[in-house]
């Protein structure tokens, strides 16, 4: 089955530690995205990538970093510089960036930092 | 992206049709109408999208008003699995429309 996988589902970290969230897709999509969702809120875009070896900051990129070395993979690192890292993180992909493409989401990773 | 307005919540009986409305009076000619839904603690799920004509797929139908200022998502037979928050989103079809902007959405409850 084609889809997006994110691991782990739940992640716990101590404050001051960097943590990397995994996102893999086998849909052969060029574009990939990372969103953050806080309780009762909508999604906010962290980073997006249109193609391998290229990525752009979204609205809330501070304290996060990404890489796109392979088409299938778009890992997100939450650094110690991110002031409020506890959130639900969602990875998505689409054929392209244009507005007529639908985005497909992974199941999400719930990160708790204490 | 232009703004959409949806009711906060709706209820439906199981196995009955559900019509979820969305108003988007400031829609532009190049905006696509997308619908997504999100179950608790899960990632959003794409439902359907369209531009001008009504659209059908295995999940739902999308009815778009002639003036495009409103649309309706139709679930033909609601099941308990359809209980979710449904989001109506407008997306510009050109370059730069790279993110989904989720509003509050409509929380659909399905009564057994």
For residues B66-81, give the mean pLDDT: 96
* Closest CB to B32 among A33, A99, A103: A99
Whether pLDDT at A98 is above 80: no
Q: Say yes or no: A92 contacts chain B, CB-CB below 8 A.
A: yes
- What pLDDT does B47 receive? 97
Q: Does B39 touch chain A (CB under 8 A)?
A: no
Say whether residue B103 is in contact with chain A using an 8 A CB cutoff: yes
pLDDT tens per residue across span A7-46: 999 999 999 999 999 999 999 999 999 999 998 888 899 9
Q: For A4, how many CA atoms within 13 A lie in the half-sphere containing its CB?
A: 29
pLDDT at A86: 96
Residue of A nearest to B47 (CA): A102
- Summary mean pLDDT of chain B: 91
B74-105 pLDDT, tens per residue?
Answer: 999 999 999 999 999 998 876 665 677 788 89
The Cα of B15 is separated from the nearest Cα of chain A by a number of Å equal to 27
**Cα–Cα distance measured from residue A65 to residue B82, given in angstroms and rounded to the nearest whole number:** 35
pLDDT score for A97: 78
> Are A105 and B44 inside 8 Å of each other by CB?
yes
Beta strands A76-78; A19-25: pairing state: antiparallel
Sheet of B18-23: strand order equals B18-23, B70-75, B61-64, B55-56
All residues of chain A having their beta carbon less than 8 Å from the beta carbon of residue B95 are 97-98
The pLDDT score that the predictor gives to residue B97 is 58
- Give the mean model confidence (pLDDT) for residues B37-41: 91
- CA B42 and chain centroid, separation: 17
What local confidence, expressed as pLDDT, does residue A39 receive? Answer: 86
B100 touches chain A (CB under 8 A): yes
* Helix, strand, coil share of chain A (percent; to 5): 0, 50, 50
Compute the average pLDDT of residues A1-6: 85
Given a contact cutoff of 8 angstroms between Cβ atoms, the answer to whether A51 and A36 are in contact is no
Q: Is B94 in Cβ contact with A99 (below 8 Å)?
A: yes
Bridging pattern class, strands B61-64 and B70-75: antiparallel
State yes or no: pLDDT of B40 exceeds 90: no
Residue B93 is predicted with a pLDDT of 74
**Two tokens at B78?**
């609601």
**Residue percentage of chain B with pLDDT more than 70:** 94
Give pLDDT, residue B1.
Answer: 54
* Residues paired with residue A90 on neighbouring β-strands, in sequence order: A35
Q: How confident is the model at residue A96 (pLDDT cuts 50, 70, 90)?
A: confident
| CA atoms of A94 and B11, how far apart (whole Å) | 32
Q: Is B42 exposed, middle or buried (0-12, 13-18, 19+ CB in 10 A)?
A: middle
Does B51 contact chain A (CB < 8 Å)? yes
Q: pLDDT at residue B2 above 70?
A: no
Q: Which of B34, B42, B103 lies closest to A107 in CB terms?
A: B42
Instruction: Please tell me if residue B24 touches chain A, with a CB cutoff of 8 Å.
Output: no
pLDDT at A1 over 90: no
Strand, helix or coil at B71?
strand
């Amino acid at each position: 089955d084609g889809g997006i996988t994110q691991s782990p589902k739940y992640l716990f970290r101590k404050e001051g530690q960097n943590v990397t969230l995994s996102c893999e897709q086998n849909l052969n999509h060029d574009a990939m995205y990372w969103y953050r969702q806080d309780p009762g809120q909508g999604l906010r875009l962290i980073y997006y990538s249109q193609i391998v070896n290229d990525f752009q900051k979204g609205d809330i990129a501070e304290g996060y970093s990404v890489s796109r070395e392979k088409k299938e993979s778009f890992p997100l690192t939450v650094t110690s510089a991110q002031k409020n890292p506890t959130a639900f993180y969602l990875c998505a992909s689409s054929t392209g960036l244009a507005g007529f493409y639908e985005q497909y989401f992974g199941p999400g990773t719930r990160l708790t930092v204490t | 992206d232009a703004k959409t307005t949806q009711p906060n919540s709706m209820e439906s009986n199981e196995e009955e049709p559900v019509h979820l409305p969305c108003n988007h009076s400031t829609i532009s000619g190049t905006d696509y109408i997308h619908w997504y839904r999100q179950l608790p603690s899960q990632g959003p799920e794409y439902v359907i999208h369209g531009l001008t004509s009504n659209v059908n797929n295995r999940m739902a139908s999308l009815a778009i008003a002639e003036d495009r200022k409103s649309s309706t998502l139709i679930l033909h037979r609601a099941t308990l699995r359809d209980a979710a928050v449904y989001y109506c989103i407008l997306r510009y079809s050109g370059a730069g429309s790279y993110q989904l902007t989720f509003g509050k959405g409509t929380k659909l409850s399905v009564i057994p």
